[in-house]
Amino acid sequence: MDLRASSTTLDTVLFVLLVGVAVGTLAGVGDRRAPGGDRVAEETADLLATTTTEVTYTRSARVPSSALLDGDDTVTVTADRTAAGTRTELLAAAALADPSLGGASLTGMGGDLRAGARNATERVLYTREATVQVAVTWRPYPDATLRSSFAVGEAPPRDADVSVATVAAASGLPNVTRPAERAARANGFDGVAGVLADAVVADLFPPGQTRDALYSEGPDRALVAHRYRHASAALGVDTARFLTPGHVDQANKRLSSGLAKRLATDLRRRYDSPAAAAEAVRAHQVRVVVRTWSG
């Protein structure tokens, strides 16, 4: 059985929140100038950061029928979504929709938004003067095991003369570098990891909107419960008994605790001190790199 709806209670609010942060921050972040003054790379970066568009996509998951109906079977739940913003904002939203931890998806969703953002970007990339690729990367600190990355267009040939322009777009997460520095002094690597984990979980499962979804009847409730189950499995924690509107904070604490343990291990491996780890935190930025070359 397939159940489709156009309800947007959770995902639309999530995207609006993210874009609201991005619009206020983008103008003051990033370098859109290409080394050597390459005009196509620079103009393409400006185009992505300033032109708006709309993307229609879906959220879909196989869930137990008991989540919606009486029965022991499984059903496909699908909800239609619409997101609007600049192309850079759409790319940033797609990056944060489903980050991976050690190569494993955290939410099991986000592919349709990523495809929509890619398509919206591809429509403005091609010029007669150069070939263009856009690479999108989010990491809360360099080389983090928690990450998200994808590209629009093919990679340049190894022997190509490549020009580059970069935009640092807002990820939708708050700038937690200062809180991470304070946490490093108080609780070492565990403190830095905890600050990061709390911010990521709050972005993926914002308490107010998540409660609304769990109160609702139909696809929003089933989809957010599916996201919790997927994240719980990826992090090795149990949130099953907390998937009710009154226990969202407890569910998020479980996810945050599991993520913090993984991040603390990764930070200890990569940095000589908690202070160095905290200084490297850049969770609020998504790196969008435009590469152009002839041929």
For the chain, the domains span 2-293
The answer to whether residues 22 and 169 touch, using CB atoms and an 8 Å cutoff, is: yes
- What is the value of pTM for the model shown? 0.83
DSSP 140-180: SSTT-SEEEEEEESPPPPTT---EEEEEEEE-SS---HHHH
pLDDT at site 64: 65
Rounded distance between C-alpha atoms, residue 242 and residue 272, angstroms: 37
Strands in 52-64's sheet, in edge-to-edge order, are 2-5, 74-86, 52-64
Q: How far apart are the first and last CA of the chain?
A: 49
pLDDT at site 78: 77
pLDDT at site 222: 85
Rounded distance between C-alpha atoms, residue 207 and residue 158, angstroms: 46
| pLDDT, tens digit only, all 295 positions of the chain | 344 444 443 443 344 333 333 332 233 334 444 444 468 899 999 999 999 999 988 776 676 655 444 445 676 777 788 889 999 999 999 999 989 999 999 988 778 899 999 999 999 987 777 899 999 999 999 999 999 999 999 999 999 999 999 999 999 999 999 999 999 999 999 999 999 999 999 999 999 999 998 898 778 888 888 899 999 999 999 999 998 999 999 999 999 999 999 999 999 999 999 999 999 999 999 999 999 998 6
pLDDT at site 137: 97
